[in-house]
Every structure is written in C-alpha cells, then in structure tokens.
Structure 1
Amino acid sequence: MPATVLFQGDSITDAGRDHTRPADLGHGYAALAAAGLPAGLTVLNRGVSGNRLADLRDRWDADTLAHRPDLVSVLIGVNDTWRHYDSGLPSPADAWEDEYRRLLQRLHAHCAPRLVLIEPFLVPVTAEQRTWRQDLDPRIAAVHRLAAEHDALLLPADDLLNQAARTTGHPTRIAIDGVHPTPLGHRLLADAWLHLVRDPHRGGIPDSARNTRT
C-alpha cells in the first residue's frame, strides 16, 4: 500500500484547495512539494484557512489521525499571533506549546509517523507587523523545542523567507501581506521542504516509498 504524506496547517498550507475534492492540493508549497516526491505516494493537504492551533486541535482526529499518515508536515501559529493583534484573542506561547505538544504526542501514539515541523513565519511589510515579533518569536522557539523532542525535521521558514526578502529587495516579493507567500515564497518553502525529506541521512521520505519512482 502506498505511503501517505499529509500536510497540515492554515491558509498558507490550504492555498486555495478545493475542500470538496479530497485529493486537491491547492496551489501553494504543498502542491509544489508533492510534485517533487516519488511516484507511488498518497499526498493529502488538510490545511484550513484561518486556523489557529485550537482549530487544528478540534479537527485533529478527522483530518490527521484518521489517515494514519507515514509522514506529517505541520505549519501552524501565525494566526494565533495575528488574532492577538487584530482581534484581541490571546494565545499565550507557553500554553500554545503545551497544546501543540499534546497533538504530537497523540499522533506519535496513534501511528508514529515521521514529522516535518515548519516554523511559523512573518515577513513584515508594515511597521505594525514588526511589533508582532514579540508574540511570534516565542512560538518559533517552541517549534524548535518540539522538533527536538520528537526527532522531527525542522524547516526554518522564518529565517529562509526573511533572508529571501532581503535578497530580493522587498518583503512583498516573498509574502504579499507579510503572512501569505507569493508564488516565489511558496516555491522557496517547497524547495526547502523537499531538501529536508529527500536527504537519506535525515530519513524523511517513508522507507516504503523511497524506491517507487517510475
């Protein structure tokens, strides 16, 4: 049976996928990364636009555990920061980390997949967004700790995309509103993701799928 790779997250992962078509991958980094994976894999995108960690928790059973994936990639967190500033909805970083940890523990106990944890990121395009770092940076640090705890592959997306913004000369070339990647931003994420999971020393691609390319 083909191995299953599952992408989880918010609108950055969702990327306009058609929720009425379970196999649709959207038009973002998940779809781009899937195109670079070996043949024979089942690739699912279950990102949902607007999700905070609490929303992901509420659908974890149906949208993650039920698929018994062999590799799970998670990108979550920027909406927890965003809603703090635009809606006054608090999400303390320590409680957020504990909840994220519980999700990963449940996943490990259920089917023990390989994990890719992607840093939540922000490429500020306004002066106000620069103040968001005080809320987002602790979440990024939490993802680093969780990756170490679960022997997960860690994608340093915040550093990657902010460096790309400096290289290209303007943040909107990478993330049009500071949060949602442009096509170039999605391509950079996808390429970095594939670099992680293709590395045989990191063990990212499930063993059952390594030699299935035709």
Structure 2
Amino acid sequence: MAPLRFAVLGDSLSEGVGDRVDGAWRGWAALLAEGLGSPRQPVEFRNLAVSGAQSREVAEQQAPQALAFRPDLASVVVGVNDTLRHTFDIEQLARRLDRVCADLTASGAVLLTACLPDPGRMLGLPAPLARPLARRQKAVNALVHALSARYGAVHLHLADALWTDDRSLWSADRLHPGERGHRAIAARFHALLAARGLAHGAPPSPEPEQPPPTRTEALLWLATAGTGWVARRCHDLLPQLLRLAGAELRHWADGTAARLDRRAEHALSAALAAVSLDAAVATMGE
C-alpha cells in the first residue's frame, strides 16, 4: 500500500515551537503523524512550516513544495503573524488562503485547519492595544471558518476559552503551546480524522514526556529568545498599533467605538466577496 503523505504548512505553531525534544522543535504535527498510519500503510511526513511565516510565505513558498509532495493530508494553519504586521490586509489574506486551499484540494489532499486565539488576549495587553489585534484575529478566524466549510476541511477550534484559559497548555511566552498543548492539538485532530476514517494508528498520549520548564528556565527564555521575538515584531507593528490604540481611545471617549467594529466587519465582508464566499457562513464573533 502506498504511504500516506502528510504535509504541514504554516508558522511557528506548526513548526512545533514550545515543544522541544533533543534540541529541536517537535510539535503537534509530528505527534499527529505518528498516529496516522498503520502497519500496512506507513506515513511520509513533511513539515514545511517556518517560524514567523505569513500567508504570503505559505502561498508563495510552502504551497508549491507541498503540491510537489502530493499529500493525502495537508494542514494549513496561518494568520497570526499577518495580524501582527502593519501590512495586514484581510482581503489579500483571503485571496492567498483560498488559492492555497483550492490547489491542495484539487490535488487530492484533505485539509486540516484551525482558528486561533488572538495574541493581544494571550499576552494580556491593555484594552486599547488588545482590541485592534482581537478584531484582526476574529476576522482571520471567520475567514478560516468559511474556507474550511468551502473545502470540507477537518477544522479545529482553538480560540475558545476552554483552550486559551488553561495555562498548563501554554509555554512561557504565552503565545505558543507547551508540550501538553501540542499533545492536546494532536489528539483533537486525531479524533476528528479517525471519525472520518483517516487516522489508523493510536492517538498521541496527552501526558508530557518532558519535565515542564522551571521558572528559571522560563524567565531565561523570556529574557533571551522571547525578548528578541517581541523586539522583531514591535519594530514592524508597534508604531501602527499605537496609532490604532489612539483611535480606540478617541472613539471610546466619543462613544463611537462601534464604528471600528463595523469597519472591520465591512472589510471582512469585502474579503469574503472577493473570493466568492458567503458572509453568512462567517461571523466576526468567532
């Protein structure tokens, strides 16, 4: 029997950041891959995800490699990094993801997708800073919901409170899952795939194999790699985010904050229309 091919497209979440084994990132996708095959059908696994990737990199660099691999399963989980850039454009994001999903589906792949928590909430940012990021991530999630319905994807909800409020699932940076979180994602995807007859091995264990990082290790990470992560994104995003926060405060003071929500909803509607998606399938409340 031909091997089952599993390709992974996306950013640091899919690369496995937060789940380090033997000096390298492992992550939910590798854990899931171990439970997909059977003695008669091995799995060929290719992780193309790269930390920091945006939808442009997924569409222009990762998707062609995935198509050449001719996967049976392909995960496409991306969008958070787009929301953290001053160039964020929900319509461009919609066009890119729609093309990636269309091409992979046409090649015969079953898609795996996920909606994600907004980074402002995860980082506990003040409301004027958090609200603009929340609107962006809600728009991305609404788009992903609509595309998942269009292409019959195996879709996982990772933006609900049961997931985001359980701190045992998250690493020290508060943005990436730890080992327990990666195992939870893998197990949830495995259950959905098994229900479709697409996972034939044992589900991954929910219990971590590695000891959790000590407080000293967590603080060291935040002082080194974590500080670098924030600095790289602040250089690009912070000036615009401060302007957005200023607009939030002005509208709040004027009692017109609802205008910003309506503006985001109109932008989402235009993005869905650009790729001929029904706005009724997606809501900004996701």
Pick the TM interval, shorter chain.
0.7 to 0.9
Are 1:144 and 2:145 an aligned pair?
Answer: yes
- Is 1:37 the counterpart of 2:36? The answer is yes
Greater percentage in helix: 2
| Identity value in percent | 27
Q: Does 1:12 align with 2:19?
A: no
- Return the match for 1:192 from 183, 188, 206: 188
Instruction: For 1:139, give the aligned amino acid.
Output: V
- The residue aligned with 1:113 is 109
Tell me the equivalent position of 2:218: none
* Match in the other structure for 1:20: none
How do residues 167-178 of structure 1 correspond to structure 2 at under 5 angstroms?
168=166, 171=167, 173-178=169-174
Partner in structure 1 of residue 61 of structure 2: 59
Classify the secondary structure of the residue corresponding to 1:59.
Answer: helix
Q: CA deviation at 1:158?
A: 1.6
Aligned to 1:96: 93
Query: Corresponding residue for 2:246?
Result: none
Q: Per the alignment, in what secondary structure is the counterpart of residue 84 of structure 2?
A: helix
Residues 179 and 27 of structure 1: is their aligned pair in 2 closer, same or farther, counting only changes over 3 Å?
A: same
* Alpha-carbon distance, 1:155 to partner: 0.8
Shift of 1:47: 0.7
2:276 is aligned to: none
TM-score between both structures, scaled by the size of structure 1: 0.78
Aligned AA for 1:142? L
Cα distance in 2 for residues equivalent to 1:173 and 1:5: 25
* 8 Å contact kept, 1:13–1:30: yes
SS in 2 for 1:121: coil
User: TM-score, normalized by length of structure 2?
Assistant: 0.59
2:216 maps to what in 1?
none
- The residue identity in structure 2 corresponding to 1:81 is T
Q: Residues 9 and 62 of structure 2 are in contact (CA less than 8 Å); yes or no, is this contact kept in structure 1?
A: no
Structure (1 or 2) with the larger CA radius of gyration = 2
Report deviation, 1:175.
4.6
What is the rounded CA distance, in whole Å, between the counterparts of 1:63 and 1:8 in structure 2?
10
Match of 2:122 in 1: 124
Question: How far has the Cα of 1:165 moved from its partner?
Answer: 4.0
| Contact 1:124/1:130 (<8 A) preserved | no
Residues 51 and 103 (structure 1), Cα distance of their counterparts in 2 relative to 1, 3 Å cut = same
Q: How many residues are paired up?
A: 186
Measured on the aligned residues, the alpha-carbon RMSD in Å equals 2.2
Q: Distance in 1 between matches of 2:58 and 2:125?
A: 29
> Are 2:113 and 2:155, in contact at CA under 8 Å, matched by a contact in 1?
yes
